Amino acid sequence: MKKIQYTLIIFLMLFSTKNIVAQKDTIAKQRKARKLLRQGNDLYKKQQFTDASVAYQKALGSNSNYDKATYNLGNALYQNKNFKEAIPQYELTAKTSTNKLTKAQAYHNIGNAMMESKNYQGAVDAFKNALRNNPKDDETRYNLAVAKKLLEKEQKQNKDDKNKDKNKDNKDKDKKDKDDKNKNNEDKNKDKNKDKNQEKDGKGDKDKDKNKDPKKDDKKNPQKPKPQKGKMTPQQIKQLLENLNNEEKKTQKKMNAKKAKGKKVKQEKDW
């Protein structure tokens, strides 16, 4: 029994020591993060935004849940005109912060970054979220009005461009239809003129034939009796009928074979 108690005491001591070390390590990291944050702030004041971004990122490396470092990193990226990279930092702050004013500031900055990226719909949504957290912010309200106006202008422009493209397509279609119609009319006129010319030539040939002396032509070119088309001998007719009869028998045989092949075999059930 004493042995078990002794083992338990040792285990608790080791566990406590481990916890103390972990706590000390966490405190050390937090201190380092705060130090790096201050360095970043000093660089930010000097408008050295790239170096400030690096300091804030290092601070987050020591303490990933450091909201201030996240927010400040967003500001440094924004000042460096890296608007798309700044937005996720602000979004993280807006999501994790419990302070409504901080949330409102984060959403406000998201709206500004969206405006710079010409994402006016996103800006409108962000400014609305900022006002939900801080309804008294007149600057956000003004920015919201501007974003709405730019969004309406963009939507109108898109609609006009769409209508312009549609009208262009209709014009092209009308032009094509007109060209096709003109072409068809030209072809018809050509065919009509061709028929007239052929008719004229035929008439001329007939007049020539009239002027000819038929007796003279008969003497020069005695015509041979032409064989009449379509006439068959009785023997050929008989052979054709026999061939047809044989073909019909073959076809019937094939049909019967197909029918037999398609039948299902019914299995007797054993119950």
pLDDT tens-digit profile of 2-23? 566 666 666 566 555 555 545 6
Q: Are 109 and 83 in contact (CB under 8 A)?
A: no
pLDDT tens-digit profile of 90-104? 999 999 999 999 999
Q: Provide the CATH number for the domain formed by 25-150 in this structure.
A: 1.25.40.10
Gap between the Cα atoms of 95 and 5, Å rounded? 48
Q: 161 vs 77, which has greater pLDDT?
A: 77
CA triple 207-209-213, angle to 5 deg: 125
With b for 16 or more beta-carbon neighbours within 10 A and e for fewer, the 152-184 pattern comes to eeeeeeeeeeeeeeeeeeeeeeeeeeeeeeeee
pLDDT tens-digit profile of 143-172? 999 999 999 999 999 888 888 777 777 777
Return the closest-CA partner of residue 128 out of 141, 116, 115: 141
pLDDT tens-digit profile of 20-66? 545 666 888 889 999 999 999 999 999 999 999 999 999 999 998 89
pTM: 0.55
Q: Are 29 and 62 in contact (CB under 8 A)?
A: yes
Residue 212 DSSP one-character state: S
What are the domain boundaries of the chain?
Answer: 25-150
